[in-house]
Amino acid sequence: MIATGSVGDGGTAAEYMVKRAARPPAAAPRSAPLDYGGGMDPEGKVIVVTGAAGGIGGALVRALLERGARTVVAADLDGAGVERLREELGAERVLPRVLDVADEQATRALVDDIAATVGAIDVWFANAGLATGSGPDAPDEEWNSQWRINVMSTCTPPVSFYRDGSSGARVTS
Ligand SMILES: NC(=O)c1ccc[n+]([C@@H]2O[C@H](COP(=O)([O-])OP(=O)(O)OC[C@H]3O[C@@H](n4cnc5c(N)ncnc54)[C@H](O)[C@@H]3O)[C@@H](O)[C@H]2O)c1
């Protein structure tokens, strides 16, 4: 490294770096503990998990039931996958539904159906998604599909279920 010029107190850059290296290390900044406002208690709640047939979705459904959710609607393109969840976890509290989250009409229809048959939705886990692993030169069709599934589908449900006056919350993975 070539150090030229003067820094701050008039020394050269090399002198400055030698002085800085000799200083005791500054104490690591302490960040404030994260405040989640008490967290979300699933007890007694009606909760929708999209992408429920997948790894994170299935784990979410199990965890929410263990923590007392009243009903978990397990929605996915993969109907057989969510049906397996119902068989494993019980028909009383798991409602399997086939849903393409990129289909806004179908999403709204599911919201209406749940409101009419189960009750107002308290929490919507917008978890369905896909990672194609493709880069910037992917065809437009793929970009559009990612946009609809990974982005827009996380916006549609709250707009339609907040109107029910639920304690609506949305979580996106
Ligand atoms: N933020 C992060 O760092 C991070 C890390 C890992 C995963 N994720 C996201 O979390 C989500 C779940 O991850 P995973 O590892 O469980 O994935 P996964 O592939 O195991 O499950 C995804 C599920 O989504 C379903 N799905 C895909 N497209 C759908 C559609 N149009 N409509 C309905 N369902 C659809 C699939 O059938 C599948 O069951 C994904 O959205 C993923 O991108 C985020």
Q: Is residue 109 part of a domain?
A: yes
pLDDT at site 10: 61
Cα 16 to ligand 1 centroid, rounded to whole Å: 51
Q: In the structure, which protein residues have their CB atom closer than 6 angstroms to any atom of ligand 1? A: 50-51, 53-57, 76-78, 81, 99-102, 127-131, 149, 173
pTM metric for this prediction: 0.80
Q: DSSP letters of 86-116?
A: HHHH-TTTEEEEE--TT-HHHHHHHHHHHHH
Could you tell me which residue, 169 or 78, shows the higher pLDDT? 78
Q: How many independent structural domains does the chain possess?
A: 1
- CA–CA gap between residue 100 and residue 79 (Å, rounded): 10
Q: Is residue 26 part of a domain?
A: no
pLDDT at site 83: 98
Q: Is residue 118 part of a domain?
A: yes
The CATH number assigned to the domain holding 53 equals 3.40.50.720
| Terminal C-alpha separation, the chain | 45
Structural domain containing residue 85: 46-172
Q: Is residue 72 part of a domain?
A: yes
32 neighbors 7 (Cβ within 8 angstroms): no
